Amino acid sequence: MSMINYASREINCKIVYYGPGLGGKTTNLEHVYQKVAPSTRGKLISLATESERTLFFDFLPVDLGTIRGFKTRFHLYTVPGQVYYNASRKLILKGVDGIVFVADSQVDRMEANLESMQNLYDNMSEYGYDLTRMPFVIQYNKRDLPNAATLAELQTSLNPGWEITEPSRQRHTPDVYHAGTYLVEQVATGEWVERATYFEAVAVTGEGVFDTLKAVSKLVLKALS
């Protein structure tokens, strides 16, 4: 989890971009790296596998304020999308503070999305992490492609919600990013469910990239405060 550097008065937080291979995780990080001020970012490190890369860099955002006088430095990671690199996925998840799941919107990639989402839940549980209690944002990438699934189909498959049993949390909570929708709501069968915050994106053009990052960063800061 987050680490405090008293010498530099910084809180270091780890955000991991998860999802199927070639879904846009690397593109997200490359866009962020290109757009943040060079003076606020560390070196972009790339670890190549046979078919894709794992990226890492850290940066210090200037617009998110401080926590008890400490600045917050975010360390952004991608994981290998291919399932046979699962040991690397698990290693990168260790100590995570926030998760961005980058889904490929193409209809023929839905099975890969579902497999990767289940793998995320499984790997998190091995560490004793509860994904439903952690800063977690879903990004539906490649929304510009002609074979992209509808938002309703993606939500039904990848963000159906998890049941809330604690009475104190059973209250309608609006989704501040999507007017008229709720993150927490009572469904027709009577159960209360919570869904993850989501964004639509076209990472190759940068659309939705910073919206996603800002949302998960704010959730991480809220969890720390």
Average the pLDDT over 48-55 and give the result.
70
pLDDT for res 1: 67
Length of the chain in residues, anyone? 225
Q: How confident is the model at residue 69 (pLDDT cuts 50, 70, 90)?
A: confident
Q: How many CB atoms lie within 10 A of CB 148?
A: 20
Phi first, then psi: give them for residue 13, nearest 5 degrees.
Answer: -120, 145
Question: Is the alpha carbon torsion for 49, 84, 202, 74 positive or negative?
Answer: negative
pLDDT for res 54: 78
One DSSP character per residue, 100-116 reads EEEEE-BGGGHHHHHHH
* 98-141 per-position pLDDT tens digit: 999 999 999 999 999 999 999 999 999 999 999 999 999 999 99
Check if the beta carbon of residue 79 is closer than 8 Å to that of residue 25.
yes
Average the pLDDT over 35-40 and give the result.
92
pLDDT for res 52: 64
pLDDT for res 3: 83
Q: Where are the domains of the chain?
A: 3-144+196-224, 160-195
Has residue 95 got a pLDDT over 70? Answer: yes
Say what percent of the chain tops pLDDT 70. 95
Work out the mean pLDDT of the chain and round it to a whole number: 92
* 6-15 per-position pLDDT tens digit: 788 889 999 9
Model pTM above 0.85 = yes
Average the pLDDT over 182-193 and give the result.
95
Say what percent of the chain tops pLDDT 90. 75
Q: How confident is the model at residue 64 (pLDDT cuts 50, 70, 90)?
A: confident
CATH no. of 3-144+196-224 = 3.40.50.300
By C-alpha distance, which of 60, 59, 47 is closest to 89? 47
pLDDT for res 87: 82
CA–CA dist 105, 86 (Å, integer)? 22
Question: Is the alpha carbon torsion for 212, 216, 217, 218 positive or negative?
Answer: positive
What DSSP character marks residue 219? H
CA–CA dist 22, 184 (Å, integer)? 31
Has residue 65 got a pLDDT over 80? Answer: no
pLDDT for res 38: 92
| 192's tokens | 């209360």
Average the pLDDT over 88-92 and give the result.
87
Q: How many CB atoms lie within 10 A of CB 123?
A: 21
Average the pLDDT over 149-162 and give the result.
97
Check if the beta carbon of residue 37 is closer than 8 Å to that of residue 45.
no
